[in-house]
Amino acid sequence: MSASTDSPKKLAKNEGLKTESNFLRGTILEGLADLSTGALSDDDTQLTKFHGIYQQDDRDIRAERRKKKLEKAFSFMVRVRVPGGVCTPQQWLEMDRLSNTYANHTLKLTTRQAFQFHGIIKSNLKTSIKEINDALLDTLAACGDVNRNVMCNPNPYLSEVHAEVLKFSQDISDSLSPQTSAYHEIWLDGEKVQSTEQDEEPIYGKTYLPRKFKTVVAVPPSNDVDIFAHCLGFIAIVEDGKLVGYNVTVGGGMGMHHNNEKTFPRLADVMGFCTPEQALKVAEGVVVIQRDYGDRSDRKHARLKYTVDDHGVDWFRERVEEYVGFKIEPARPFKFEDTGDRFGWTEGVDGKHHLTLYIPNGRVKDTPDFKMMTGLREIAKVHDGDFRLTANQNIIIGSISDEKKPEIEKLIAEYGLDNESRAKTGLRLNSMACVALPTCGLALAESERYLPDLVGRLETVIEEAGLRDDAIVIRMTGCPNGCARPYLGEIGFVGRSPGKYNVYLGAGFDGSRLNKLYQENVKEEDIVDLLGPIIQRYAKEREEGERFGDFTIRAGYVKAVKVARTDWWAPN
Ligand code: SRM
Ligand code: SF4
């Protein structure tokens, strides 16, 4: 299939790297054996991303080491795929053990329902990856220019179709996983493949995708996966209690660059409807069209959102239809209500109990006064259900039996894990921050280490205004890449430089409207003065049921921007 008739543009450097890499091998094995440095070669650090591994350095001590003329304090971040966010208590225990053996004694539950380890040094990398695989989880395609961890509403209480939908998300994950044997060969001591002929990537080809690719599945009314923020989405359509198919969304994404208007966050378009039998083929079709038509010359313009934006969703649908060989039907009605988690106890349709716990910014760790990691470990030791990572960086202790419930309740109380002890406002429960400093090489400002303090200061205003129990979605990132989906926060902060943030307001509570820039370059110390009066006005002037994001638009603080086309599918 030919992508374009225009004269060919110069390909981005990574394209050559992928072609030459022998299906993602590069010289990773040789680099791992060289212990004269804690780093890998620049080219290999691009390739290890496809294996779920990022080279990083501790930015807190970068300047000090430079002064002492020491190499940067290199270590590796390892991302573990958890399709749909569901893992067993045994797997939780293994992740906990590996973090305490090879990493920095913390686990990061990510905004895409995965685990991240930070601080693994080169000499421990291979063993760590091997032991993650021994726990029947993997890191392949957790990063890189491929389809990454597939997300799915994690709360099993939602509907009878949940298990079916979760299975679908796991099937997408399997069908879009890279087929190269390089992963096995490098990390699991597989047989060395002598020639590239033996490897094949039926869907991706040798150069994989132009850029990262993200897929999600949602069951309305919950939009906790923020479906419109992702390249490809499937919205479960349930009629008379049965899953009849999915509305397919394409072309969402968050990342942008400051001062570059050619880059922007974009909400996905609803492309149409397909049946459950057609859905895997449609997923493949969307990937293949992006493979062939995505921009391989400019990585800042290479995401699917730009392909859809440049050509339009109708053009995109036609290309997918040509590939899959059937028509994609018009979309069916659906309605989302919110993007948050259902905290506390819920009862599942299976008669089991589920407990959603607030984990501040997804960082599982022990501190002198709060033994969160130990508490969750003790729960995992007795729990016979599952753990479910949410897209809001929280955790569900899922499928708890009647017999186990008292024991788990006792551990929750013993370790102070209950939500009431640690998150007294709806603002905090709905807060989310990306990792940022000290590990993220792209951070311009603090995020995970700063948001809890800022929320604390805003909580004073919230309490005074009588808004303790009101859910307000607040998100922060240390740079404009958008890892905590800040452009879908009713209040969004995006780092500009140390101690300074762009402040955004006005996103839709249901995830269907982006927020808008309210003020640029706001200093940390000025944020409460900026937002306090708006919060107080909201408390006094809001209409019945009016959400904070909607109010900031009605009150004229910001103007509404594009709304995902959800309203006209579901009139009411
Ligand atoms: Fe992200 C890059 C962390 C979700 C958009 N992201 C990074 C890196 C790997 C920095 C780097 O490239 O060197 C960060 C590692 C930090 C660290 O020290 O761990 C990083 N991203 C994260 C996580 C861990 C944030 C979190 O606190 O949970 C999330 C891991 C998700 C996962 O399990 O796979 C994470 N990143 C996201 C999301 C949200 C989502 O997908 O729902 C986005 C916005 C959606 C999107 O993709 O458009 C996101 N991350 C980016 C981008 C911008 C991409 C773009 O199109 O411009 C980058 C930079 C890049 O790719 O060049 C990036
Ligand atoms: Fe790093 Fe920026 Fe992503 Fe935050 S948003 S983790 S600072 S890349």
pLDDT digit string (tens) for 373-399? 999 999 999 999 999 999 999 999 999
Ligand 2 contact, 417 CB (< 6 A): no
Superfamily of structural domain 426-554:
Sulfite Reductase Hemoprotein, domain 1 (3.30.413.10)
> Contact 248/282 with Cβ under 8 angstroms?
yes
* Ligand 1 atom 38, closest CA: 483
Give which of 546, 488, 541, 552 is closest to 519, Cα–Cα. Answer: 552
Which atom belonging to ligand 2 lies closest to the Cα atom of 478? 7
What local confidence, expressed as pLDDT, does residue 205 receive? 96
From 231, 434, 475, 513, the catalytic residue = 434
Ligand 1 contact, 148 CB (< 6 A): yes
Return the residue matching tokens 């001590």: 61
Task: Say whether 87 is catalytic.
Answer: no
What local confidence, expressed as pLDDT, does residue 350 receive? 80
Domain covering 1-15+144-340 assigned CATH 3.30.413.10 in the classification: yes
Give which of 172, 188, 212 is closest to 134, Cα–Cα. Answer: 188
What local confidence, expressed as pLDDT, does residue 501 receive? 98
- 344-422 and 426-554 share one fold: no
Q: Structural domain boundaries of the chain?
A: 1-15+144-340, 344-422, 426-554
Which atom belonging to ligand 2 lies closest to the Cα atom of 440? 1
Q: 477: which strand partners?
A: 494
pLDDT digit string (tens) for 361-376? 999 999 999 999 999 9
Mean pLDDT of 99-112: 98
The model's confidence at residue 43, banded by pLDDT at 50, 70 and 90, is very high
Which atom belonging to ligand 2 lies closest to the Cα atom of 441? 1
CATH class of 344-422: alpha beta
Relative to the alpha carbon of 108, which ligand is closest? 1
pLDDT digit string (tens) for 505-533? 999 999 999 999 999 999 999 999 999 99
Ligand 1 contact, 116 CB (< 6 A): yes
From 108, 211, 212, 352, the catalytic residue = 212
Pairing state of beta strands 232-239 and 215-218? Answer: parallel
Return the residue matching tokens 């069916």: 332
Mean pLDDT of 305-323: 97
User: Given CA atoms 527, 532, 534, 538 in this order, what sign does their dihedral have?
Assistant: positive
What local confidence, expressed as pLDDT, does residue 567 receive? 39
Task: Say whether 537 is catalytic.
Answer: no
pLDDT digit string (tens) for 445-503? 999 999 999 999 999 999 999 999 999 999 999 999 999 999 999 999 999 999 999 99
Percent of the chain with pLDDT over 70: 95
How far from the centroid of its chain's Cα atoms is residue 255's Cα?
A: 12
Relative to the alpha carbon of 75, which ligand is closest? 1
Which atom belonging to ligand 2 lies closest to the Cα atom of 482? 5
Give the DSSP letter of residue 327: P
Task: Say whether 559 is catalytic.
Answer: no
pLDDT digit string (tens) for 548-568? 999 999 999 998 765 554 433
